[in-house]
Structure formats: C-alpha cells, structure tokens
Structure 1
Amino acid sequence: MTPADVSGALVRAVRDAVAEGELDVSVPDSAVVFCRGAGIYESPVAMKLGVEPAVIARRAGGVARDGFVRIVVPVAAVVDGVLGDSGFGVARVPKGGWSEWPRTFENPGFSVRYAYARACWTGHWAAELGIGRGRFQGVAAEELALVGALGDVPGRAEQAERERDARPLMFCLERVAGAYHDVHERCPAVPKGDEVPGAMHTGRVALAEAVKVALGNGLNVIGEIPRERI
C-alpha cells in the first residue's frame, strides 16, 4: 500500500461522508499523506477541510490523532505497494545530483548509487541460488527503518516537485540508501554458509527489489541513469 493508495482511501471516505450528509464540504481530488514510520501514514486532510478527523478516520479504517487522520497498514503491504507501482516516487522534479567522489559511505552520492547497485546484485545472487521473491515479513529494527524510509519517498518527490527543488527527494533517497546498507549488512537476503533458504530470505529479496524500484526511479527523476556497477 503506497501513500497514493492511502490518499485514495481518504478521498473516498470524504466522498462517502458527503454523499450521506455527514459532511458538507467540497471533495478534494487528493489528500496530502506523510509517512511517520513503517506502515504508519498521517494526513492533515481533516484540518484542511475544517472537519472533525474522526469522521474521516472512521470511514477510512484509521484513527484521529492530534487533528490528523492516521492509517496503519502492515509493513508487507508497503513493500507490496512499491513493487506493484512502476511509477513509485516519480514526479516532475528539477535535476539534481551528487559528486561521484570520494567513494566512501560518507559521500551521499556514493551511498545512494552503491545502494542501488547492491539491491540489483542481491536479486541476481538470489536468483542464482533459486531464491525467489516472497512476502516480506521482516521485524528487525533495521528492516522496519527501511520500510519507513521507503514509505516517505512519494511524499518527498511531490514536495520536490511542488517546491521546484530536488533536495527534499535527494535527502529522502539518502535515508533509503543508508537504511538499506544497514539491512544488507545485518539482515542479508542471501543465506550465509550452511544456512537453509526460507521465507525470511524470500521476503528480504522482495525488500531489496523494492529498494531497487525506489532508488532507480529516484535517480531517474533527478536526471541520473541508475547503474548496477559503479
């Protein structure tokens, strides 16, 4: 489930409430959605419309929290949403970029490009071992941090488009890359030694592919061609 899916659910909730006479407002075309963590989304749609958030939250399957409508979805749904949306995080963003050098993790340009390459090669190595993509079921702190960073990508892409400044998206891509490096090192998708491949590994292959989609689209948006080798 992507932020666009959450936005759609909120708009439908408003439309239904208006149709049934519970609200008297103009139905918006979309709702702004912020990612607050792994599978946690919040929207100020009620504040923008000047209505009680509980009305929208109840119809959208969420809760009202400090004026926002909060919707929580399974972390696996976030990963599935990225994989099911070829245009995930795509927006009309001005060109941006980072220096190629130095090739250290302290250089965000290297970190983002290398994270994309790592995600690509994780898929290749898994395929060579006969490990396919499965349902993500990670619970490690590193994995949850990565899912939260992924969920923030579309909103930052929209912000970059709105502000005509690539930096909000670039900073978000840096967070995704940093989180993925942690996952790659501590929660590997490819079994080590005599470890038997299982559902945990197939789920991590899916997570790596989601990172590939998000970073690949992000790099394209800011004017770079993603590379599997750097």
Structure 2
Amino acid sequence: MTPGQLGEVLGLPPIPQGTWAEEAVYVSPAALRRREEPGEMAARLRVLPGIVDVRVRGDGFLEIAVAVPGELVAEIGPVPAPPSGGVSPWADSPRTWSNPGFVVRYAHVRAVAVQRWAAELGVGGEFQPELLTCRWDRAVLRSLAEVDSRRGSRDPGWAAYAEQLALAYHDAFERAPALPAGDEEPSALHTARVRQARAVRDVLAEGLAALGEAAPEVL
C-alpha cells in the first residue's frame, strides 16, 4: 500500500508518522474531514491489502500501519520542474559537510552515480520492495513518504525537506550499499536499493528545482 493508493482511498495524502524504525505508520484526518465515524473508516481500511493495522487516536485521526513501506518507491519518478517558489537558502561554498547546500547537492550526485554504476556492474532484475528493511533504508523511505503531502502544502518547506532526505540518503549510501563490492555478485537487495536511490534522485531534483537550482550530476 503506497501513499498514492492511500491518498485515493482517504481523499487526501497521508502523512508519515514516527521514525519507521520498527513500524511504518501514516496518520490521516480523513474521517474527520469527511465527517465519518473514525471507527467505521478504520474497519474498512483494515481489510485492504497491504495494511497491517489501523488505530483510531483520541483526536479522531487514523494511524495506518502498512506492511511493505518500500512499495512507495515504485510510484516516485521524475516530474516536470515545479514553478520556482523561492530562492535557494544555500551558498555554493564551502563544499563541505558544514554546508547544507553541499549535503543536498552531493546526495543528488551520489544518487545519479549509483544509477550509472549499477548499469556497469550488472545490477538489475525485478524490484522487490519488501527487501528494504534495514534501519538506513527505512529512514530513507520515511523521508520519501513525505513528498506527496509536501507537494500539496501551501508551504512545502523544500529546503528543510531536501536536507532531511539528503542526510538519510548519505547514511544509507555509506552503510547500506546499493552496489556490490569486490567479487560480490549483484543481488535483489542491490536492485531494490538502486531503485530507492533513483527515487531519492528524482525527489531531490524536484526540491532543488523548486528552489531555483539545477540538480547537479557532478561536483
């Protein structure tokens, strides 16, 4: 169950909640917005494929736990450049980890490079989202899950969001490799992480464009 699929059912994009380290949860005020009984809506949602549980909070919001959070990667792709709604808050230099702009741009560069290296190393095959389970992959997924709700917001906060996603991706890049090392054979897990990196690339490019920047492929 992806954010897009949930959004169609709920009538508005769901918002990810928590760290997703152990459970991937979205929260939604859909029942209140539609003036429905939250318990009844929760009961309908529980029987849908891909949903583990639906809980009703005291404020009437629904907490929706999904079985395979990695499925959201499949619905993220390149989008037309959004109208530039602001000016980039980042300087070009210094090109060090102390500069959030460098962190974001370098994350995009890394995600682009992963696609190229994956092709050279023969990483391919069917995308299996259920393999994206380690803590670093789930942190990336948690950030990616925000993109739909941010797109629909009057104040999407692209700069802060891009920084958050970039930091999560750098951790995953270094600790949960998308590419085989040495004599290691390409695996289905590598394929899943390469696909995740592509989603990161596309979302960061969208955020940079919204801030009036071209997404770099090299630094």
TM-score normalised according to structure 2 size? 0.83
110 and 141 in structure 1: CA distance in 2 versus 1, 3 angstrom threshold: same
Residue in structure 2 matched with residue 64 of structure 1 by the alignment: 55
Q: Cα deviations across residues 107-165 of structure 1 (Å, max 9, x unaligned)?
A: 11101110001000011001001112632312111110110001012222332xx13xx
The percentage of counterpart residues that share the same residue type is 36
Residue in 2 that maps onto 1:51 = 36
- Is 1:91–1:157's contact at 8 Å kept on the other side of the alignment? no
Partner amino acid, structure 1, of 2:142: G
> 8 Å contact 1:2–1:78 — kept in the other structure?
yes
Aligned length: 203
Tell me, yes or no, if the aligned pair for 1:32 and 1:44 is still in contact at 8 Å: no
Aligned residue type for 2:120:
E
Q: Name the counterpart of 2:9.
A: 9
Indicate how the Cα distance of structure 1 residues 144 and 201 shifts in structure 2: closer, same or farther if over 3 A, else same: same
Question: Is the counterpart of residue 132 in structure 1 residue 151 in structure 2?
Answer: no
Other structure's SS at 2:207 match = helix
Q: Secondary structure of the equivalent of 2:72?
A: helix
Q: Which of 139, 144, 162 pairs up with 1:173? A: 162
> C-alpha separation between the residues in 1 aligned to 2:203 and 2:181?
26
Structure 1 residue runs of 5 or longer lacking an equivalent are 12-30
Q: Is the 8 A contact 1:142 1:179 kept in 2?
A: yes
State the distance in 1 between where 2:210 and 2:124 align.
Answer: 28
1:119 to 101, 111, 127: 111
1:104 and 2:96 matched: yes
When the two structures are superposed, what TM-score results if normalisation uses the length of structure 1?
A: 0.79
Q: Does 1:79 align with 2:64?
A: no
Bigger radius of gyration among the two: 1
Paired with 2:45 and 2:87, the residues of 1 have a C-alpha distance of 37
What is the rounded CA distance, in whole Å, between the counterparts of 2:32 and 2:87 in structure 1? 33
Tell me, which stretches of 5 or more residues in structure 2 are unaligned?
47-52
2:4–2:13 contact (8 Å) kept in structure 1 = no
- Asked if 2 retains the 8 angstrom alpha-carbon contact of 1:117 and 1:229, the reply is yes
RMSD: 2.2
The answer to whether the 8 Å contact 1:2/1:82 transfers is no
| Distance in structure 1 (CA, Å) of the matches to 2:42 and 2:147 | 23
Q: CA deviation at 1:65?
A: 2.6
Structure with greater helix share of residues: 1
How many Å separate the matches in 2 of 1:8 and 1:76? 18
Q: Which residue of 2 aligns with 1:149?
A: 143
Q: Secondary structure at the match of 2:76?
A: helix
Q: SS of the counterpart of 1:63?
A: strand
What does the per-residue CA deviation read over 1:67-123, in whole Å, with 9 as the maximum and x for residues that have no partner?
21233331221111224xx439x7656123111111112211101110001000011
Q: How far apart are the structure 2 equivalents of 1:178 and 1:116?
A: 11
